[in-house]
Amino acid sequence: MSSFIKFQNIVYPSNELSLTMILLEEWSLIYIEGPDSKKYLQNQLTIDMNLLFQAHHTLCAHCNFNGKVWSTMRLFHYDKGYAYIQRKSISNMQVKELKKYSIFSKIKIIELKNIYLIGIAGLNSRLFLLKFFIKIPDKNCPVVYENKKVVLWFSEPSERFLLILNLSDFLFFKEKINEKIFLNNSEQWLLLDIEAGFPVIDINTSKKFTPQAINLDKLKAISFQKGCYYGQETIARIFFKNLNKRFLCCLTGTGNISPEIGSIIETKVEHKWYKIGFLLSLVKIKSEEIWIQAVLSQSIDVNNIFRIYGFENIFLIKN
């Protein structure tokens, strides 16, 4: 490891983040190639594949027949086909489900395990990357391909980048770093996704929610114009009849707790606690601050106090 890289185990919100390299060990890269790859994904995912341009990436979901989300993913063109990034805990099950009907299609779906997913975020991250890449992605061109390297651009919660590198490129990149940069783990990227409002679906929360319940309609991760795909009838009915009763939000509190993902969220009304939602993800920040991503009922008062079932720590909705 380069002597310029300093290890850092503390997670910071985006507005306090120094230049940081993040190892996305909790995410995986799935690759799809073959003559039928576009058509096959069109019938499986919530977005219109015809609108996914070469230099863009998009958030989308893979759902079951009942319109419940198997996984949320970041999809883009890659090599001779497509690729998407999703939480590693869900990949085995999700890929198996995605392959279920591929026997009749000319398509190959594999998890690429020899690829490094690296986040670059924090102060002067763009200037830092300009020393390694000829072109850096931006709003007009969110994906840049350079030889076998790929760089994705994100605007939220502040400018950040996701690098897709093979082993030799990763080692070269790491050894050529000649300025101070902190190294952190997946928790830092997870917090940035929570801040950005991107829903995080892990194994414990798979098949629990419709896309609208985790704000995918607001994030433009659902197409209501394209043809049929798995779960489309339920998803469309919820949209056109305004039946969604849940929403995704971020709560903050303090303490030192480790609840299970998928735990019940409660809110206090008068003197009693009532079940109001579910925990999607949790990150401990700095000393004892905790940020959580939760799915809550739309009927709540946003000024209420909340807790995770089994714990006394109080949480408030982050403005």
- Residue 226 scores a pLDDT above 60: yes
Look at residue 179 in the predicted model and tell me its pLDDT: 81
- Residue 315 scores a pLDDT above 90: yes
- Residue 230 scores a pLDDT above 70: yes
- Residue 33 scores a pLDDT above 80: yes
The amino acid that residue 1 corresponds to is: M
pLDDT digits (tens, 9 = 90+) for 112-121: 999 999 999 9
Overall fold of domain 5-196: Gyrase A; domain 2 (3.30.1360)
In terms of DSSP bridges, do strands 246-254 and 315-317 run parallel, antiparallel, or are they unpaired? antiparallel
Cis peptide before 157 (omega within 30 of 0): yes
When pLDDT is averaged across residues 70-97 and rounded to a whole number, the result is 97
Please, which residues have CB within 8 angstroms of residue 93's CB and are 6 or more apart in sequence?
70, 203, 206
pLDDT band at 2 (very low <50, low <70, confident <90, very high): low
Look at residue 151 in the predicted model and tell me its pLDDT: 98
Kindly list the strands in the beta sheet with 69-78, ordered across the sheet, starting from the edge strand earlier in the chain. 57-63, 69-78, 81-87, 27-33, 108-112
Give one word for 287, left, alpha or beta, with left for phi > 0 and alpha for psi -120 to 50. alpha
Q: 95 near 128, Cβ under 8 Å?
A: no
Q: Select from 150, 83, 88, 163 the least CA-distant residue to 118.
A: 163
Look at residue 76 in the predicted model and tell me its pLDDT: 98
Look at residue 270 in the predicted model and tell me its pLDDT: 87
In CATH terms, are 5-196 and 245-319 the same topology? no
Selecting from 2.40.50.140, 3.50.50.60, 3.40.50.150, 2.40.30.160, what CATH number does the domain 245-319 have? Answer: 2.40.30.160
Look at residue 212 in the predicted model and tell me its pLDDT: 98
**Least reliable range by pLDDT among 4-18, 33-47, 144-158, 292-306:** 4-18
In whole angstroms, give the CA distance from residue 157 to residue 193.
Answer: 8
Look at residue 3 in the predicted model and tell me its pLDDT: 58
Question: How large is the greatest C-alpha to C-alpha distance in the chain, in angstroms?
Answer: 62
In whole angstroms, give the CA distance from residue 251 to residue 253.
Answer: 7
Q: Select from 298, 286, 279, 290 the least CA-distant residue to 315.
A: 290
Please, which residues have CB within 8 angstroms of residue 152's CB and are 6 or more apart in sequence?
57, 74, 76, 137, 142, 143, 161, 162, 163, 164
Residue in the structure block whose two tokens are 């890289």: 5
- Residue 104 scores a pLDDT above 80: yes
pLDDT digits (tens, 9 = 90+) for 280-308: 999 999 878 999 999 999 988 888 999 99
Going 255 to 260 to 262 to 267, the CA torsion angle's sign is: negative
In whole angstroms, give the CA distance from residue 293 to residue 295.
Answer: 7
pLDDT digits (tens, 9 = 90+) for 233-288: 999 999 999 999 999 999 999 999 999 999 999 999 988 999 999 999 999 998 78
> Among the residues of 60-185, which ranges form H helices?
88-99, 125-129, 167-175
Look at residue 301 in the predicted model and tell me its pLDDT: 87
When pLDDT is averaged across residues 29-43 and rounded to a whole number, the result is 97
Look at residue 132 in the predicted model and tell me its pLDDT: 93
When pLDDT is averaged across residues 20-30 and rounded to a whole number, the result is 97
In whole angstroms, give the CA distance from residue 268 to residue 36.
Answer: 52
pLDDT band at 160 (very low <50, low <70, confident <90, very high): very high
Q: What residue spans define the domains of the chain?
A: 5-196, 245-319
- What percent of the chain is predicted at pLDDT more than 70? 99
